[in-house]
Amino acid sequence: MRKLHGEQAAAVHSPKEGHPVVIYTHKFKPEHYRKGVELITTLFPDGQLEHKQKRHNIFLRHPSTHELVNIAFFDDGASVHDWHEAEARSRVIEKLRPMLDGPVDVQVYEIERIVGITT
């Protein structure tokens, strides 16, 4: 397993209907926003790699509210519960805890339908 970015990442993992998607919203204390974004966008994928679950992450930033959203698309056989209990994830959360302005908001969904639009 290895980490890929941008177009390479999109080319190897396409979400499928029925797969789980988790939306994690991290709200940071203003003084920790930049460092928190850096940690999440590097340490979470590293932890997922260590945990050996194929994943596709899309990170969305909202600097004016000090938020970073991670939309994590889980692959077949990748367990949301196992990831939430994983030591690799716990280590990152502990590192982030003093930087956060409240708990991470976690919402779990299932992909209903995928629709592409082209010309």
CATH number for the domain spanning 19: value is 3.30.70.100
Residue 55 CB burial class (10 angstroms; 0-12, 13-18, ≥19) = buried
- CA–CA dist 81, 64 (Å, integer): 32
Check residue 32 and give its pLDDT.
Answer: 98
pLDDT > 70 in the chain, percent: 89
Band of pLDDT at residue 14, cut at 50, 70 and 90: confident
Half-sphere CA count of 102, side-chain side, radius 13 A: 8
Residue 115 included in any domain: no
Residue type, 102: G
Query: How many domains does the chain contain in total?
Result: 1
Residue 53 included in any domain: yes
Q: Which tens digits make up the pLDDT trace of 62-108?
A: 999 999 999 999 887 778 999 899 999 999 999 999 999 999 999 99
Band of pLDDT at residue 11, cut at 50, 70 and 90: low
Residue 116 included in any domain: no
Question: Which residue range is the domain that position 25 belongs to?
Answer: 15-110
Residue 64 included in any domain: yes
Residue 118 included in any domain: no
The mean pLDDT of the chain is: 88
Residue 9 included in any domain: no
Residue 1 included in any domain: no
Helix intervals (H) in 1-119: 6-12, 33-51, 80-85, 87-96
